[in-house]
Amino acid sequence: MSLENNKEVISLDPRITRANLISGNHSDVEGIVHFQTYEVFHQNKRGAQHKHVGIVHAPNADMALLYAKEQYARREVTANIWVVPSSCVSATEYEDDDIFTTAPEKLYRNPASYKVMDRIQAFKERGMKATDEV
């Protein structure tokens, strides 16, 4: 894509044509040296959770959606894509990890701490012995 003096975007890429940049809407593209970074979230079917799949660099949100579709939705079944400016994502600092240590012993929250699997395995073994004896 090249931006000439007559402000017309010339491109062999049909995505640029679909983005309607040729009609003279150059205000979003003019003067941009570095594109903004957008986080991309992908949903493979309706009702499923969106999962973070990567980032794209684009001049605006519409182009970010277009780039995300081309990059992350062409190989997988896709129901929906979200793009969020990276600057809008809030996160905790790694130095502040003590805010997650409210109760150091959280074994009751972890299903692996329950000893049910031992009982299930013993039940299966008793069932196998009973069928072998018959």
Render pLDDT for 37-91 as a digit per residue (tens, 0 to 9): 999 999 999 999 999 999 999 989 999 999 999 999 988 899 999 999 999 998 8
In a domain, 2, yes or no: no
Domain assignment present for residue 124? The answer is yes
In this predicted model, what pLDDT tens digit does every residue of 115-129 receive, in sequence order?
677 788 888 888 877
- Domain membership flag for residue 7: no
CA-closest candidate to residue 81, choices 49, 50, 48: 50
CA distances from 17 to 9, 14, 20, 65 (A): 9, 5, 5, 15
Q: Which residues contact 13 (CB under 8 A, 6 or more apart)?
A: 1
Number of domains in the chain: 1
- What pLDDT is recorded for position 70? 93
Q: Is residue 6 part of a domain?
A: no
Whose tokens are 């990567």? That residue is: 54
Residue 14: inside a domain, yes or no? no
Predicted confidence at residue 67, as pLDDT, reads 94
What pTM was computed for the model? 0.54
